[in-house]
């Protein structure tokens, strides 16, 4: 099986290292020339909660050749139109394109490469790009090896090809097949909304959110909004890392303290994670905020579900994009504190 990792950034570097070490014929494709050169010269290095290094083959997009059996898509949704069009000549009739992107991009991917080629998945570990050739695993290693991916067919069937892709990804970390793809993607979206969105809006690691009272309570509300909008859209959330995501829904204000404790426990292994959207802001790049928290804000239209916390995350991240600045935790947390206080007043 000939494999291409399209978007060999923080996550792709780790995936490529383990696949290459496992004997797979894999190419890491990335537009960052210095990164490609470092990968070829010194291999893919993984640091953080583990130390690992593997010899890999890396190329830039224009160096693609031949055809691939499996594409692992790890680029940002911002660039899907151009990237997927460029991939078409390198796909066979039965090639598999596995979307491991954040958000819910499958309809767009299928519209370009063909629905028959698409399977989708959810990455359940975190990583931070350190420098060319080096990525830091920020999820605890034991959890990473147990829960690294969920994958599934668009129609929910458990097919022979999904089993084949599982056997490949198992070389990286624990891979689980989902018969509810939509629920899988929404469950991952919830975690991204609550923590990646806040990480970018506040400028902090997940641990900073976990440890700050207004931060973690805001994460609870973001999760609740995501669940309510998902349910209004007919989504059935699936378990993530064995945890029932839908149990985070708030039935009343009295539930908040329990949900805070649950989120702190569930997210503790990921406290070192720093959102890729925050890394984008640091590099003065546009983020995927419209495809993360923005999905909840847009899908809420007509449902009767209010989404003030997701809306605030989108507002603050877009403000940082427009001004090309990095948010300040001490400044932006006040906006969430004000929103919390406003809601408390309104419920009295």
Closest C-alpha to 217, from 181, 250, 186? 250
- The pLDDT, as a whole number, for residue 347 is 58
Q: Is 30 or 188 the better-scoring residue by pLDDT?
A: 30
Question: Averaged over 46-64, what is the pLDDT?
Answer: 97
Could you tell me how far CA 269 lies from the centroid of its own chain?
Answer: 16
- The pLDDT, as a whole number, for residue 102 is 84
Which neighbouring-strand residues pair with 73? Answer: 6, 99
User: Hey, what are 246's tokens?
Assistant: 């839908």
pLDDT band at 185 (very low <50, low <70, confident <90, very high): confident
pLDDT band at 348 (very low <50, low <70, confident <90, very high): very low
- The pLDDT, as a whole number, for residue 345 is 67
The per-residue pLDDT for range 318-333, each reduced to its tens digit, is: 999 999 999 999 999 9
3-state secondary structure 219-286: HHHHHHHHHHHHHHCCCCCCCECCECHHHHCCCCHHHHHHHHHHHHHHHHHHCCCCCHHHHHHHCCCC
How crowded is residue 140: how many other Cβ atoms within 10 Å of its Cβ? Answer: 18
- The pLDDT, as a whole number, for residue 243 is 87
Which stretches of the chain are DSSP H helices? 10-21, 33-42, 80-87, 106-113, 141-146, 160-169, 181-191, 197-202, 206-211, 213-232, 256-267, 276-282, 293-299, 308-323, 329-347
Question: Averaged over 90-105, what is the pLDDT?
Answer: 94
Give pTM, 2 decimals. 0.78
pLDDT band at 346 (very low <50, low <70, confident <90, very high): low
Residue 152 and residue 165: Cα distance in Å, rounded? 10
Q: What percent of the chain has pLDDT over 70?
A: 99
- The pLDDT, as a whole number, for residue 85 is 97
The per-residue pLDDT for range 198-244, each reduced to its tens digit, is: 999 999 999 999 999 999 999 999 999 999 999 999 999 988 777 89
- The pLDDT, as a whole number, for residue 343 is 83
Closest C-alpha to 122, from 157, 161, 148? 148
pLDDT band at 157 (very low <50, low <70, confident <90, very high): very high
Could you tell me how far CA 184 lies from the centroid of its own chain?
Answer: 12
Tell me the average pLDDT of the chain. Answer: 94
- The pLDDT, as a whole number, for residue 291 is 92
Residue 19 and residue 23: Cα distance in Å, rounded? 7
The per-residue pLDDT for range 258-316, each reduced to its tens digit, is: 999 999 999 998 898 899 899 899 999 999 999 999 999 999 999 999 999 999 999 99
């Amino acid at each position: 099986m000939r494999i291409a990792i399209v978007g060999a950034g923080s996550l792709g570097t780790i995936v490529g290292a383990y696949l290459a070490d496992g004997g797979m014929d894999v190419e890491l494709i990335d537009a960052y020339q210095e990164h490609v050169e470092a990968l070829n010269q010194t291999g893919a290095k993984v640091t953080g909660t583990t130390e690992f290094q593997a010899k890999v083959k890396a190329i830039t997009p224009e160096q693609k050749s031949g055809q691939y059996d499996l594409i692992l898509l790890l680029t940002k949704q911002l660039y899907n139109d151009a990237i997927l069009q460029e991939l078409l000549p390198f796909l066979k009739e039965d090639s598999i394109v596995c979307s491991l992107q954040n958000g819910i991009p499958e309809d767009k991917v299928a519209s370009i490469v063909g629905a028959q080629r698409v399977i989708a998945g959810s990455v359940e570990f975190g990583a931070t790009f350190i420098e060319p050739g080096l990525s830091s695993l920020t999820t605890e290693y034991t959890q990473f090896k147990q829960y690294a991916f969920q994958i599934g067919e668009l129609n929910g069937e458990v097919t022979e090809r999904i089993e084949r892709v599982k056997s490949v990804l198992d070389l990286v970390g624990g891979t689980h097949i989902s018969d509810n793809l939509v629920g899988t993607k929404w469950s991952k979206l919830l975690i991204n909304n609550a923590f990646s969105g806040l990480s970018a809006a506040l400028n902090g690691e997940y641990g900073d959110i976990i440890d700050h009272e207004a931060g973690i309570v805001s994460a609870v509300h973001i999760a609740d909004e995501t669940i309510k909008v998902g349910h209004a859209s007919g989504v059935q959330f699936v378990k993530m890392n064995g945890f029932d995501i839908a149990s985070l829904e708030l039935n009343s204000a009295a539930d908040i303290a329990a949900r805070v404790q649950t989120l702190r426990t569930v997210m503790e292994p990921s406290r070192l994670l720093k959102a890729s959207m925050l890394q984008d802001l640091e590099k003065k790049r546009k983020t995927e905020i419209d495809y993360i928290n923005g999905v909840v804000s847009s899908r809420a239209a007509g449902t009767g579900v209010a989404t003030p916390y997701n809306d605030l995350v989108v507002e603050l991240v877009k403000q940082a994009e427009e001004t090309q600045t990095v948010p300040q935790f001490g400044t932006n947390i006040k906006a969430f504190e004000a929103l919390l206080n406003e809601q408390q007043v309104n419920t009295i």
